[in-house]
Amino acid sequence: MTQMAWQGVERGGDGQPVWSGASGVLAAPAQAQGGDQAAHAQVRQAGEVILDLQHISLSFGGVKALTDISFDVREHEIRAIIGPNGAGKSSMLNVINGVYHPQQGRIVFRGEERRRMHPTAAARQGIARTFQNIALFKGMTVLDNIMTGRNTRFRSGLLANALWWGPARNEEMQHRRKVEEVIDFLEIQAIRKTPVGRLPYGLQKRVELARALAAEPSMLLLDEPMAGMNVEEKQDMCRFILDVNHQFGTTIVLIEHDMGVVMDISDRVVVLDYGKKIGDGTPEAVKANPDVIRAYLGASH
Ligand SMILES: Nc1ncnc2c1ncn2[C@@H]1O[C@H](COP(=O)(O)OP(=O)(O)OP(=O)(O)O)[C@@H](O)[C@H]1O
Ligand SMILES: [Mg+2]
């Protein structure tokens, strides 16, 4: 497990960590696509803080999952959360989308301050997520699974829906159009009618991303979207994440164990260790942070 946690980090000849990864092709889009990407980069840099987590503490009985964690997320950025197994990364995402309620701290989302977020409020405000363990209906087709991502957007009443009448009919057509757009975007046309349970793991992860995107989120929380993937699948997933971020301006909070990927695609990184924050900043700053190096390479360093 420890090895998995520090995937992509090795000790180099000089004893310093080498932050390698599977994502070699990914650092290139800014140069490859020229001015357009540069403009996006500027927008991303200039984004305002839309989520501000202040002094969050969360425990389960005697287990302190998070202790006094503060960090913020800016609009349009890719914000990574890294740290070893059990560091509190998934718990943090659960606090952001209201599944876990912290005992202490405040969550300010788009200017609204709360002691805790509620899952329905999070969904209504455009926060969508994928899970560390795939949460899809395995017996249902790809198309139907993605359609469930539209749930929070259904407006017409149950009766109208049941009767397939007037506004409900128009609404459903609209939902189907959106779902087809997502299917095209993620290049999964060929499997749209396939039951999810029959797909290889990497594609299931992509379908989960599709379900989240179907909600047209302004903020996407991704919990280890590349775990268990081979190099090629990781590269595809990285490309999709970057495309979502660039094309739709979606703010992304990403938990990922592959340090090469994290260093390549994120704007800022927050580092957790045993429920505490030990680093926060640009990938370069985090890489040079002695506490982070110590956590990654062991106490002997
Ligand atoms: N629902 C829960 N009930 C009890 N303890 C929990 C619960 N959720 C998380 N924890 C505990 O909180 C701590 C942080 O767990 P969390 O899943 O957030 O870590 P993580 O950084 O996501 O780890 P991993 O890399 O293994 O996914 C762990 O000690 C875990 O056992
Ligand atoms: Mg986790």
1 three-state secondary structure = coil
Q: Residue 127 phi/psi, 5° resolution?
A: -100, 120
pLDDT at 67: 98
The residues lining ligand 1, judged by C-beta closer than 6 Å to any ligand atom, are: 60, 63, 65, 83, 85-91, 132
Residues 227 and 197 grouped into a single domain = no
Output the CA 112–ligand 1 centroid distance in Å. Answer: 27
7 and 35 part of one domain: yes
- Ligand 1 closest atom vs CA 132: 27
Q: Which residues of 240-255 are buried (b: 16+ CB within 10 A; e: fewer)?
A: bbbebbbeeebbbbbb
Range(s) of the domain holding residue 193: 127-215
Which ligand lies nearest to the CA atom of residue 5 in the structure? 1
Position 17 scores a pLDDT of 60
pLDDT tens, 235-280? Answer: 999 999 999 999 999 999 999 988 899 999 999 999 999 999 999 9
Domain-located, residue 105: no
Has residue 278 been placed in a domain?
yes
For the chain, which residues score pLDDT lower than 50?
1-5, 25-43, 46, 299-301
Task: For residue 93, tell me if it sits in a domain.
Answer: yes
Look at residue 116 in the predicted model and tell me its pLDDT: 95
Looking up residue 161, the CATH number of its domain turns out to be: 3.40.50.300
Q: Where a domain ends, among 185, 215, 245?
A: 215
Domain boundary among 191, 215, 239: 215
pLDDT on residue 32? 38
With 0-12 / 13-18 / 19 or more C-beta atoms within 10 angstroms meaning exposed / middle / buried, residue 299 is: exposed
- Do 41 and 131 fall into the same domain? no
Ligand in closest contact with the CA of 130: 2
Mutate to test the pocket of ligand 1, among 1, 56, 67, 89 (most ligand atoms within 8 A of CB): 89
Q: Are residues 172 and 90 in the same domain?
A: no
Helix (H) or strand (E) holding 205: helix 201-214
Ligand index nearest the alpha carbon of residue 94: 1
- In this structure, the answer to whether residues 133 and 87 fall within a common structural domain is no
Would 57 be classed as within a structural domain? no
- 252 and 239 share a domain? yes
**Side-chain half-sphere CA neighbours of 242 within 13 A:** 23
**What's the domain count of the chain?**
2
pLDDT of residue 281: 96
Claim to verify: residue 299 and residue 232 sit in the same structural domain = yes
Residue 53 located in a structural domain: no
Domain end position, chosen among 189, 215, 241: 215
225 occurs within a structural domain:
yes
Q: Provide the token pair at 178.
A: 């959106």
